[in-house]
């Protein structure tokens, strides 16, 4: 979602939620969520059809108002009735809107900010303080160490039933034991998935569906970095396959369940490195082929950066296609040079991490923005944003290319469709 466009719209005064297009009405649920009904298509949605903003009002009626048996409303103080819920009778206020507030800067422009920000030093536990997630189900990939472990641990300790999706079952069970020992009684399962194998991903989803659980959060955290050119068992360059295409396939296979469980949040762990997908400073024409490097055009750093750009393009397209259906996707950059296992394949990266360790952010701090996007109440029904550590960031021009995001989606569909669907016999 383009912040510049948002600011222009806000400053031009175009975000007027008091006006609805012809054929639309608004309603409100018992718990205060405003929804919109199109009488022409007979469809409902949470976002305003013109401004795309979402509102949450009080769960209780204004003082003196009661709801009658026929569904109408009566004001016992003024002795007057209404067929409209009285919570909808007042003009919208900025405090009604989910996740964001508006601020006028010194130069008169209007910017959109998070209502509840958190500090760079905060951990996942800090940002979820007071949040109760009982009954929620989350899948976290790469959950046995680093960022994934901290996210899984914090979600579990706040009541979520967490599925730790790990390549190594032994490491996964060791990590699970640490979580259970810290807080006995929390719900944590370990499941095996190798993101370098699309057969493994399909079997993982098949096994997860057999659990008959809902799915409210999907955190795509696992990644590789610094690999010499190599292809996965499916014949796809490793960075592109593991860091991006595996997440595309995982979402594609889980999408029916996410729609059934909606609202559902998808969090994609990307990087500011997405700004530099090419060796040359001259940006070549946007194309899917340039994002999927061949052996002849390969450079490990650029391959990693391109895979992270793909995640931002995926976030944009997933939000466009399914945001109105209750699947809300955000992408995050958790911080630079975190002391995780991501650089295990590169001696240079390990040296850089060692040198920056006294100044870097811990995995628990890096996990804060991931946990925030996965579960914080501020971002309920909010998607299409790129978060850099503890603030909303601005993605690169390529990351906002709508045609490129659409082309990448179609290219990915063809790739995964061409790989044999495998089920356990």
What mean pLDDT value characterizes the chain? 84
Please name every residue paired with 55 in a beta bridge, in sequence order, or none if there are none: 97
Residues 93 and 172 in one domain: no
3-state class (DSSP) for residue 158:
coil
Please report whether residue 291 resides in a domain.
yes
Segment 185-190 shows an average pLDDT of 96
Q: Compute the distance between CA of residue 398 and CA of residue 48 in angstroms, rounded to an integer.
A: 28
pLDDT of 167 reads 97
Structural domain ending residue among the three candidates 67, 88, 114: 114
Residues 144 and 84 in one domain: no
Q: What backbone torsions phi and psi does residue 59 show, to the nearest 5 degrees?
A: -80, -15
Please report whether residue 370 resides in a domain.
yes
pLDDT of 260 reads 97
Residues 167 and 99 in one domain: no
Segment 317-345 shows an average pLDDT of 80
Q: Compute the distance between CA of residue 239 and CA of residue 130 in angstroms, rounded to an integer.
A: 37
Residues 198 and 59 in one domain: no
Residues 144 and 101 in one domain: no
Write the pLDDT tens digit of every residue in 85-137: 888 876 665 555 556 665 666 776 665 566 556 777 889 999 898 888 999 99
Instruction: Give the containing element (helix H, strand E) for 256.
Output: helix 246-261
Residue 422: is the preceding peptide bond cis (ω within 30°)? no
User: Per-residue pLDDT for 330 more than 60?
Assistant: yes
- Say how many C-beta atoms besides its own lie within 10 A of residue 77's C-beta: 9
Write down the pTM of the prediction: 0.74
pLDDT of 284 reads 56
pLDDT of 4 reads 34
Segment 48-77 shows an average pLDDT of 82
User: Which of 80-89, 106-115, 314-323 shows the lowest per-residue confidence on average (mean pLDDT)?
Assistant: 106-115
Residues 107 and 241 in one domain: no
Residues 208 and 310 in one domain: yes
Please report whether residue 424 resides in a domain.
no
Residues 129 and 93 in one domain: no
- Say how many C-beta atoms besides its own lie within 10 A of residue 129's C-beta: 12
Q: Are 26 and 55 in contact (CB under 8 A)?
A: no
Handedness of CA 318, 321, 322, 324 (dihedral sign): positive
Percent of the chain with pLDDT over 70: 80
DSSP for residue 217: E
Structural domain ending residue among the three candidates 96, 114, 132: 114
Please report whether residue 423 resides in a domain.
no
Residues 49 and 151 in one domain: no
Q: Compute the distance between CA of residue 345 and CA of residue 351 in angstroms, rounded to an integer.
A: 12
Q: Compute the distance between CA of residue 218 and CA of residue 137 in angstroms, rounded to an integer.
A: 9
From 304, 372, 385, 386, active-site residue: 304
Tokens coding 17: 């939620």
Residues 341 and 260 in one domain: yes
Q: Are 386 and 173 in contact (CB under 8 A)?
A: no
Ranges assigned E (strand) in 175-306: 188-192, 217-220, 264-269
Residues 167 and 267 in one domain: yes
Percent of the chain with pLDDT over 90: 51
pLDDT of 6 reads 32
Domain containing residue 290: 124-417
pLDDT of 101 reads 60
Please report whether residue 425 resides in a domain.
no
Structural domain ending residue among the three candidates 86, 114, 142: 114
Q: Compute the distance between CA of residue 65 and CA of residue 162 in angstroms, rounded to an integer.
A: 42
DSSP for residue 52: -
User: Per-residue pLDDT for 54 more than 90?
Assistant: no
Segment 16-35 shows an average pLDDT of 80
The total number of structural domains in the chain stands at 2
Query: Can you give the CATH number for the domain in which 253 is found?
Result: 3.40.50.720
User: Per-residue pLDDT for 343 more than 60?
Assistant: no
User: Which of 8-12, 293-297, 365-369 shows the lowest per-residue confidence on average (mean pLDDT)?
Assistant: 8-12
pLDDT of 423 reads 46
Residues 170 and 281 in one domain: yes
Write the pLDDT tens digit of every residue in 206-237: 999 999 999 999 999 999 998 999 999 999 99
User: Per-residue pLDDT for 250 more than 60?
Assistant: yes
Per-residue pLDDT band for 306 (boundaries 50, 70, 90) equals: very high
Please report whether residue 266 resides in a domain.
yes
304 has catalytic annotation: yes
Segment 265-276 shows an average pLDDT of 94
- Say how many C-beta atoms besides its own lie within 10 A of residue 26's C-beta: 16
Segment 275-280 shows an average pLDDT of 77
Q: Compute the distance between CA of residue 335 and CA of residue 410 in angstroms, rounded to an integer.
A: 30
Segment 178-200 shows an average pLDDT of 96
């Amino acid at each position: 979602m383009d912040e510049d466009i948002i600011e222009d719209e806000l400053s031009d005064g175009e975000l007027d939620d008091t006006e609805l297009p012809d054929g639309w009405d608004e309603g409100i649920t018992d718990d205060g969520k405003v929804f919109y009904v199109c009488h022409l298509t007979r469809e409902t949605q949470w976002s305003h059809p013109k401004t795309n903003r979402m509102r949450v009002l009080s769960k209780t009626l204004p003082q003196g108002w009661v709801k009658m048996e026929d569904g109408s409303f009566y004001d016992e103080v003024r002795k007057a009735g209404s067929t409209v819920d009285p919570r909808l009778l007042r003009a919208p206020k900025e405090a009604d809107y989910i996740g964001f507030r508006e601020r006028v800067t010194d130069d008169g422009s209007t910017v959109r900010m998070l209502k509840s920000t958190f500090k760079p030093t905060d951990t996942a536990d800090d940002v979820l303080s007071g949040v109760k997630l009982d009954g929620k189900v989350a899948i976290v990939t790469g959950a046995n160490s680093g960022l994934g472990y901290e996210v899984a641990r914090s979600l579990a300790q706040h009541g979520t039933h967490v599925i730790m999706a790990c390549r190594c079952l032994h490491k996964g069970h060791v990590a699970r034991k640490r979580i259970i020992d810290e807080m006995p009684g929390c719900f944590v399962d370990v499941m095996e998935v190798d993101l370098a194998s699309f057969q493994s991903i399909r079997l993982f989803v098949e096994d997860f569906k057999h659990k008959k659980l809902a799915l409210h959060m999907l955190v795509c955290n696992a990644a590789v970095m610094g690999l010499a050119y190599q292809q996965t068992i499916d014949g796809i360059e490793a960075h592109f396959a593991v860091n991006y295409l595996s997440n595309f396939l995982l979402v594609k296979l889980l999408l029916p369940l996410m729609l059934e469980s909606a609202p559902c949040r998808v969090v994609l762990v990307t990087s500011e490195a997405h700004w530099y997908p090419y060796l040359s400073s001259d940006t070549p024409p946007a194309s899917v082929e340039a994002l999927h490097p061949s052996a002849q055009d390969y450079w490990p750093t650029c391959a990693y950066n391109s895979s992270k750009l793909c995640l931002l393009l995926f976030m944009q397209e997933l939000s466009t296609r399914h945001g109105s259906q209750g699947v809300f996707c955000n992408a995050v950059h958790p911080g630079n040079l975190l002391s995780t296992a991501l650089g295990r394949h590169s001696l240079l990266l390990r040296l850089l991490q060692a040198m920056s360790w006294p100044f870097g952010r811990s995995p628990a701090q890096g996990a804060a923005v991931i946990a925030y996007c996965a579960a914080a109440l501020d971002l309920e029904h909010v998607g299409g944003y790129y978060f850099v550590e503890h603030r909303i960031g601005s993605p690169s021009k390529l990351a906002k290319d709508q045609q490129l995001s659409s082309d990448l989606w179609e290219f990915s569909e063809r790739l995964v469709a061409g790989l044999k669907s495998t089920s356990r016999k």
